């Protein structure tokens, strides 16, 4: 019977490093402007317009009346309507069960239900139709939803 002879182990090699890239790159904002009223669903904010404390399921971004409001992601226009509190509103459905809402728009909305839009497509312009937020300077009310649940838009979109 032959005696086994030891053989040298292969030299250890470094574990390959893979560069990971974030799949959660934030989208461009609907308008260029500062946040004048932040997202708050777990605390109350004081509404100057309503003279009461309330929650706020979106962010209000200051912008001049007439400034273009753009879709933050590609998608399909799901709704165009006039809300009693938020004024003229456009809702866009995106991939991965995400939805964005743009309100306080001028009545001259440039899209209709069923339109396919690319990220950056102009949906309309900032108006002054949001009765519940008319005490603020001109702005767009922007909200973001994942699986139809309101989320802080700043987690998905570069804002303020």
Q: At CA 25, angle to CA 95 and CA 124, rounded to 5? A: 60
3-state secondary structure at position 155: helix
CB atoms within 10 A of CB 60: 24
Q: Please list the rounded mean pLDDT of every run of 10 residues in the chain (160 residues).
A: 53 44 75 88 72 76 96 98 94 97 96 98 94 80 96 92
Sign of the alpha-carbon torsion through 28, 29, 31, 34: negative
Structure tokens at 62: 């200051």
3-state secondary structure at position 153: helix
pLDDT of residue 153: 96
pLDDT of residue 65: 95
pLDDT of residue 15: 44
CB atoms within 10 A of CB 139: 26
Sign of the alpha-carbon torsion through 149, 35, 134, 66: negative
pLDDT of residue 75: 98
Q: What is the pTM of this model?
A: 0.79
């Amino acid at each position: 019977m032959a005696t086994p002879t030891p053989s040298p182990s292969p030299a250890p090699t470094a574990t390959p490093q893979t560069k990971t890239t974030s799949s959660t790159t934030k989208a461009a904002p609907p308008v260029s402007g500062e946040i004048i009223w932040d997202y708050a669903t777990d605390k109350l904010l004081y509404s100057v317009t309503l003279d009461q404390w309330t929650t706020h399921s979106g962010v209000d971004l200051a912008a001049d009346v007439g400034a273009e409001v753009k879709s933050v992601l590609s998608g399909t226009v799901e709704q165009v309507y006039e809300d009693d509190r938020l004024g003229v509103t456009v809702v866009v459905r995106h991939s991965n069960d995400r939805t964005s809402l743009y309100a306080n728009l001028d009545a001259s909305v440039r899209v209709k239900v069923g339109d396919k839009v690319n990220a950056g497509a102009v949906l309309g312009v900032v108006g002054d139709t949001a009765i519940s937020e008319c005490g603020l300077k001109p702005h767009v009310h922007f909200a973001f939803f994942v699986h139809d649940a309101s989320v802080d838009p700043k987690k998905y979109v570069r804002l303020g």
